[in-house]
A and B are shown apart, each in its own frame.
Chain A
């Protein structure tokens, strides 16, 4: 299929496996070994269901679906496809190639070979689902999803997120001045994570772990609650409104002076502003 970007989208062949594995490894965190397992050692893989995007003889993107029989009710099992991975070479992102790939799987009727009647996908980014999958492929969330429970054994994941946020904040020169005026020190005592202190100083956030969890000794804001709520707040998914609601329902307990609460409000507003554009 020729598409408007001067690219061709077609099913891949087994011979193209090395090129695809190289692309997989470049685009995702997993090592090459993972992709060899997922692609080369996979007895259920059908190269017909791996679509390659080609430009000038070079593969720059790929969409990979896996066939399976899926139970959609206690009495009904249907043939389905799992949208395993969709990726585009970093140089060519933002040009609608991912959208073209998802549409091509349907337009080329790739699924008809397996008589698939539904397609499932795991999309961990709620924003990506709303902006991309819902409008492109008309995906809907499952009736009730799997519950996920998690526990951080140390603060590495929180530090990683905060570092990513710092990188994003660096790109927002317009907000830098406002962020640099903020001075915040919050002790988080959360279910699912060891105690840690999040500090905002000089437009930079940092995480301190192995801290004393005694509230009396801490000078600053103290937040007691659940890790999932705190992460969605740090990630900018939830704003001050959700924070106040959580405080009223008791799922979050905040010990702070009014002045600190105002600083949190400003921090939340700026954070959401910074994350919205990037």
Chain B
């Protein structure tokens, strides 16, 4: 019942409940770094701009149904709630209103919340409370080890590998000096092995800019147009469909979410 919803501030001993609740809320999202109690105590509890009075817990009876940690500046570092609860909207509203009151009390100039772009409830409540939404994309990723990353992605999708006994060579045409400029992939009996060495007679040779490979992996770009316009070259050309299959296997489609407290 909603009547039991209470919002209180953090007290010693809440750490394991908070970490468990936060991990469960975000464990399925890409971009998330799983929490440990030690990490939470350092990143939130002992953060100089976070006061224990700025860590809020929403409870329905004994059950934790919401949590927010806010810096004195008004930046909400961590925020999560029980999405399955009938009172989800009231929990979100209650937490955001409490946080705003706290920030006003601290003399802060603004309140800033970060949420999953797919979380329409937070979007709705924020709109109702007069928040503005920023579309700015500020998180970026670069690949340090392409062969290892490609091998790990393909292994995580191993059940659907369509290639048998085939050798792929990817040549990255504008690779900077510190990066590998070739990735060799040997598919054998539903397994994949990545190497950084060049091979002379691959079954499929793909030539493409390095940044385009990153964009395809992280779901920013679809490769079809670039293949047709020969920005990605496939040799021999009749293996074009193999390249399309390969890129669709590599693509990560998940929504990234990075709690601001991690940064």
Closest chain A residue to B119, Cβ basis: A147
Distance (whole angstroms) from the CB of A168 to the closest CB of chain B: 21
A193 touches B132 (CB 8 A): yes
A122 touches B263 (CB 8 A): yes
3 pairs of A and B residues whose beta carbons are closest in the complex? A192-B132, A227-B132, A106-B178
In the complex with contacts A107-B178, A140-B220, A142-B218, A149-B133 CB distance below 8 A = yes
Contacts of A126 in B (CB 8 A): 136-137
Q: Report which residue of A82, A120, A143 has the largest number of chain B beta carbons within 10 angstroms of its beta carbon.
A: A143
Contacts of B29 in A (CB 8 A): 71
In the complex with contacts A33-B48, A227-B132, A144-B140 CB distance below 8 A = no
Interface residue A22 (Cβ < 8 Å from any Cβ of B)? no
A41 touches B110 (CB 8 A): no
Distance (whole angstroms) from the CB of A21 to the closest CB of chain B: 13
- Interface size range of chain A in the complex: 35 or more
Binding site of A, secondary structure by majority: helix, strand, loop or mixed? mixed
Closest chain A residue to B118, Cβ basis: A144
Closest chain A residue to B140, Cβ basis: A139
Q: List 26 A-B contacts (CB under 8 A).
A: A41-B46, A70-B31, A71-B34, A73-B156, A73-B254, A77-B34, A81-B144, A109-B178, A118-B144, A119-B143, A121-B142, A134-B211, A140-B218, A141-B137, A145-B136, A146-B31, A148-B136, A149-B133, A150-B112, A151-B132, A153-B74, A190-B132, A191-B132, A192-B130, A228-B134, A228-B135
Q: Which of B195-250 contact A (CB under 8 A)?
A: 210-211, 214-215, 218-220
Contacts of B123 in A (CB 8 A): 147, 149
Per the bound structure, the CA–CA distance linking A111 and B145 in Å amounts to 9
Contacts of B143 in A (CB 8 A): 117-119, 138
Interface residue B179 (Cβ < 8 Å from any Cβ of A)? yes
Interface residue B62 (Cβ < 8 Å from any Cβ of A)? no
Q: Give 15 A-B pairs besides A118-B149, A121-B141, A153-B104 with Cβ atoms closer than 8 angstroms.
A: A44-B42, A106-B179, A117-B143, A120-B140, A139-B140, A139-B141, A142-B31, A142-B137, A145-B117, A149-B123, A150-B132, A151-B100, A153-B74, A157-B110, A228-B133
Interface residue A259 (Cβ < 8 Å from any Cβ of B)? no
Type the 1/0 row for A43-86, where 1 means its CB is closer than 8 Å to any CB of B.
11000000000000000000000001111111111100110100
Closest chain A residue to B151, Cβ basis: A117
Per the bound structure, the CA–CA distance linking A116 and B142 in Å amounts to 11
A146 touches B139 (CB 8 A): yes
B132 touches A144 (CB 8 A): no
B137 touches A148 (CB 8 A): no
Contacts of B85 in A (CB 8 A): none
Type the 1/0 row for B45-72, where 1 means its CB is closer than 8 Å to any CB of A.
0111100000000000000000000000
Interface residue B152 (Cβ < 8 Å from any Cβ of A)? yes
Contacts of B2 in A (CB 8 A): none
Q: Which of B83-123 contact A (CB under 8 A)?
A: 100, 103-104, 108-117, 119, 122-123
A123 touches B140 (CB 8 A): yes
Closest chain B residue to A152, Cβ basis: B110
Interface residue B20 (Cβ < 8 Å from any Cβ of A)? no
Per the bound structure, the CA–CA distance linking A156 and B74 in Å amounts to 13
B103 touches A153 (CB 8 A): yes
Per the bound structure, the CA–CA distance linking A146 and B195 in Å amounts to 34
Interface residue B166 (Cβ < 8 Å from any Cβ of A)? no
B133 touches A120 (CB 8 A): no
Per the bound structure, the CA–CA distance linking A121 and B139 in Å amounts to 6
B139 touches A138 (CB 8 A): no
